[in-house]
Amino acid sequence: METPNLRLGVIGAGFVGRAFVQLLTDPSRQVALVDGANATLEIVGVAVRDTTTPREGIDPSLLVDDPLALAAREDVDILVELAGGTDPTRSWIETALHRGASVVTANKALMAECGTELARLAHDNGADLLYEASVAGGIPIIRALRTSLAGEKINRVLGIVNGTTNFILSQMTSEGRDYAEALAEAQALGYAEADPTADVEAFDAAAKVQILSSLAIGTALHGEAISREGIAKVRAVDVDFARRAGYVIKLIGVVERVGEHGLSRRTHPALIPLEHPLAAVHGAMNAVFVEGDKSGPLMWLGQGAGGEPTATAVMGDVLHAARNRASGRHDVPFSVDDRLTNVDEGDLTSVYYLSLDVLDEPGVLAQVAGVFGRHEVSIQSMEQSGFGSEARLSFLTHEARARDVSSTLDELDQLASVDSIGACIRVIDGGGA
């Protein structure tokens, strides 16, 4: 039987797009690619903003400047969207799907905003919509959740899914830097953007949590906001306390089943015990830790960003979509479990690390302890450090409700002997209680 030829339109020739085109045209990979796709793959156009800039490894005659026209071309079987952003990107993807072309994308923002609708559109038109590279770059976690773990009940997913923040926190931990120094270093090395908001305020991680949640638990992808806290308030003294207490601070994304149909999705910094596998994920690496009902704990580790690692995930999707097309089929979209409801985050319990900047005078500790007691937050351990204007009280609580911790902090904030609340960070799987 003759091997079919499938045509690809690629939008974007930046970090990921260029690496993808180079992979696809690498002569040493051709046999494996034809084998994986069950077809030969041909790029018919690469859309960019500026067609005059030379792109290493890309034939200049392929460059076009109209992504919508490329998406609409009848001879494009698979559209590979590697431009990013939600507008007008959505219209390019919808145009391709409407005419039955499959779409492969690395676009977490778009998938988190309208993934359910796009997946439905793909299905209605007999096409695939695949987005492996949208979460944790080169780590093949989406297909693992979608296929290998399809029959498993997932109770919790913990992810270090943002390399920039993991790099910053790693530098704070290993080099003793404060937040501003570590951020500046991340920017100088190209790990952080000039405007780092999307990373350090955890917008990027929150979109990835949404996508993981849809696959692990069955939530819809329609731009719902989830509980989000970034790392900008983490101080060197918090990192130091954590280290001495046997923890490391990481920004984690959490998807957690609570009871049968309750759900918590959130991102926040957390103290992670040094013996937990996620504690060993350093620098810009990503990891996803999955707890299945019967599988027990599983973890994937790898490069969450970078053109080449991310392009391998894109390639995996392209080969899958090609194989499907060559055999006249497509994947069914992920199903949405309508019974799931977001729990009240105030009801969730955790061990907490709390730190207070206090006046250096007698009686302060007794006052503070009284406030904890009134709100039923019990103290597991306490450390008094610093002198004068540097005086600080740091606590690890026993398991406490978020609502009670929050009311404790509100009352502490009113005390004349408390200068400021320095930190309130949850402890994951840690100690006591």
Ligand X SMILES: NC(=O)c1ccc[n+]([C@@H]2O[C@H](COP(=O)([O-])OP(=O)(O)OC[C@H]3O[C@@H](n4cnc5c(N)ncnc54)[C@H](OP(=O)(O)O)[C@@H]3O)[C@@H](O)[C@H]2O)c1
Residues at the site binding ligand X, with contacts judged by CB under 6 A = 12-17, 47-50, 67, 82-84, 106-108, 133, 137, 305-306, 310
Closer of 134 and 408 to ligand X (Cβ): 134
Closer of 108 and 330 to ligand X (Cβ): 108
Closer of 89 and 213 to ligand X (Cβ): 89
Closer of 17 and 230 to ligand X (Cβ): 17
Min CB(66)–ligand X separation in Å: 8
Min CB(266)–ligand X separation in Å: 21
Closer of 47 and 368 to ligand X (Cβ): 47
Min CB(177)–ligand X separation in Å: 23
For helices 236-245 and 163-175, what crossing angle results, to 10°? 70
Min CB(413)–ligand X separation in Å: 38
Q: Which residues contact 329 (CB under 8 A, 6 or more apart)?
A: none
Min CB(108)–ligand X separation in Å: 6
- Burial of 136 per CB tally in 10 Å (0-12, 13-18, 19+): buried
Q: Which residues contact 193 (CB under 8 A, 6 or more apart)?
A: 164, 187, 199
Cα 54 to Cα 130: distance, rounded to the nearest angstrom:
29
Annotated catalytic residue within 108, 153, 208, 294? 208
Spatial CA neighbour of 45 closest among 21, 27, 29 = 21
Omega into 88 within 30° of 0, i.e. cis?
A: yes
Cα 70 to Cα 52: distance, rounded to the nearest angstrom:
18
Closer of 88 and 297 to ligand X (Cβ): 88
For helices 307-326 and 15-25, what crossing angle results, to 10°? 60
Report angle CA 383, 386, 390 to the nearest 5 degrees: 120
Q: For this structure, is 153 an active site residue?
A: no
Min CB(204)–ligand X separation in Å: 8
φ/ψ of 398, rounded to 5, equals -80, 180
Cα 203 to Cα 205: distance, rounded to the nearest angstrom:
6
Mind telling me the catalytic residues? 208
